[in-house]
Every structure is written in structure tokens, then in C-alpha cells.
Amino acid sequence: MTIRFDNRVAIVTGAGGGLGRSHALALAARGARVVVNDLGGTLDGTGTGVGQAGGAARRVVEEIVAAGGTAVADSHSVADSDGAAALVETAVSRYGRLDIVVNNAGILRDKSFGKMDPGDFASVVDVHLLGSAHVTRAAWPYLQAARYGRVVMTTSAAGLYGNFGQANYGAAKLGLVGLMNTLKIEGQKSDIRVNTIAPVAATRMTETILPPAILERLQPAPVTAAVLFLVSDDAPNGAILAAGAGYFAKVEIVEAAGIQLGDQASCDDVARHWPQIADMAGAAPFNSAMEALTRVITAPPAGAAS
């Protein structure tokens, strides 16, 4: 099976370098018409980084065109809802449709939580979480009308598991999983499939915190391979896929089998039964909040055989 994207139109945010550039180049190489979005900012989201806004995006477009592909540059900020709408309009006005959205744009402003300025927290959430929501929201009517869409969010191990100095980044990244979990349900009837990539790669965001020997192994290509699968016709829906250095693994949020202590349970009851409450042997994922609610109602009483 060869995955192709002929006649598909894709938006990739933060595509002026790193993973986004890799995603854009690979989509174009397999036939997609790509909107390469990048503000051209520095790692913390300030300035332009390349001398002028959009310069990084234009360079990637030049690479795509030189290789025989089709692409257009866009320099709108995804952190602004009007900018996100303009980005989507770039795709639709230029190519007449929109099929794929890869939410990749992000910034870093790392500090320990006690030293973090509220503005630094908000800025990271604005780009990663709200930026992905803004772009996907602007794209949503077009995907619904076409009864087809593939959307990818970008989380990270910092969001899934935590990382010192990245409370803002981690909160935004796990928030994207929550966004996916609702959109996978709301988009299902229109064949809009929403998935999340959890990448590990050598980019501007990792080059200062990982040793060179590790960075050499963390090339973008394996992550891009996972992203292209997640936006293909046969993509799953609602999957979190970890990828890096040739490693691929599905990630799930699971809940223990749990027990029923009754609606008069006290904190002492919770403490006494904690080993059984925390027993993950029967852990399982849920596809929706309603499934989780069903578990609450049907959990066995304390002490019952599993």
C-alpha cells in the first residue's frame, strides 16, 4: 500500500523549520498541495528570526516547488483567531478546498512554575492550545461540508507525563489531547478524523536540552511518517501516537477497574481501600466521557471478586 495525497490540500502550521518543514515537504512529495504556515518567529515566539515575517515559510515553499510540488506560504499568527481564519482562507481561496490540518506550531518559555511570569504561561497556551483550536475551528465548516477531514494535534511527553520547568507547555500539550477527544466524537459523522502525534525529534525546541549523540538519532523523518499515516484516508480516529528515532507506540489514557464504596463513603474509606482503588491490573481506556460514566455506575463493590 502506498499512501498518497493527490488532490488533497493540507495546512501545516509552524512549517518554516523542524518537524513542520518535514511534514510539509513529505505531504507535497506525496501529491498534496500545501499551505506552509510560519510567522518566522524566534523560539519564544518573539521577533521574526529570519529578518522578515514569513521568510521561513517562503523558503520551504521554494524547496517544495523546486522538487516539483505545489505550495504557498502563509505568515498569519495562529494564536489570533482572525489570523487562523485568514490562514484557512489562504488554502481555500488558492486551492478551492481543504482536507488536512496539521497543528504543529509552538513556542517555548521554560521556567520553574514558581518563577514563571503569567504572561509566559498565557503565551505558550495561546500558541499551542488556542492556536490549534483556532485553526481547526476555522477549518471545521469546510471539512464538514466536504464530509472529509484529517486533523492532527501535536502533544509531547511533557504534556502526557510532565517535565520540570514546563508547566505552561505541559498544560497546553495535554489540553490538546482533551481537544482531540471531543473533536473525534463531533467529527465522526462527517468522516473528520482527529488524532494526536507525540513526537521526539531534534528541533530548535530540543537542541538545547539533549546531547548531540542523542540528537543525531532524533531526525524528523520517523515523526513525519507517523503524521502522514494519521492524515491518510485509512487513518484511525482519536489515537495518540508516540514517534521518534524509529520508535512508534500508541498511547492511551486509562482508568483502573475501580471499586464502589457507596455514596456515603468517607475519606477513611478511601484511605483503607486505596490499594484496590489504585490497582491498575484491570485498567482500560474509554472512548468517551459517557463510557467513563458507565464505569462509575457499574463498578463492583469493595471486596468483590474481579
151: CB partners within 8 A, 6+ apart: 100, 101, 102, 103, 136, 139, 143, 183, 187, 192, 193, 194, 195, 231
H-helix or E-strand spanning residue 226:
helix 221-230
- Cα(13)–Cα(76) distance, integer angstroms: 10
For residues 188-226, one letter each, b for 16 or more C-beta atoms within 10 angstroms of the residue's C-beta and e for the rest, the string is: eeeebbbbbbbbbbbbebbeeeeeeeeeeebebebbbbb
Q: Is 169 a catalytic residue?
A: yes
Rounded CA gap, 26 and 100, in Å? 13
Q: How many CB atoms lie within 10 A of CB 103?
A: 31
Q: State the catalytic residue, choosing from 95, 148, 169, 247.
A: 169
Given a contact cutoff of 8 angstroms between Cβ atoms, the answer to whether 143 and 11 are in contact is no
Classified as helix, coil or strand, 40 is coil
- DSSP 3-state of 194: strand
112 with 159: CB under 8 angstroms? no
Q: Which residues of 42-76 are buried (b: 16+ CB within 10 A; e: fewer)?
A: ebebeeebbeebbbbbbbbbebbeeeebebbbbbb
For residue 196, what is the enclosing H or E element? strand 192-199
Residue numbers annotated as active site: 169
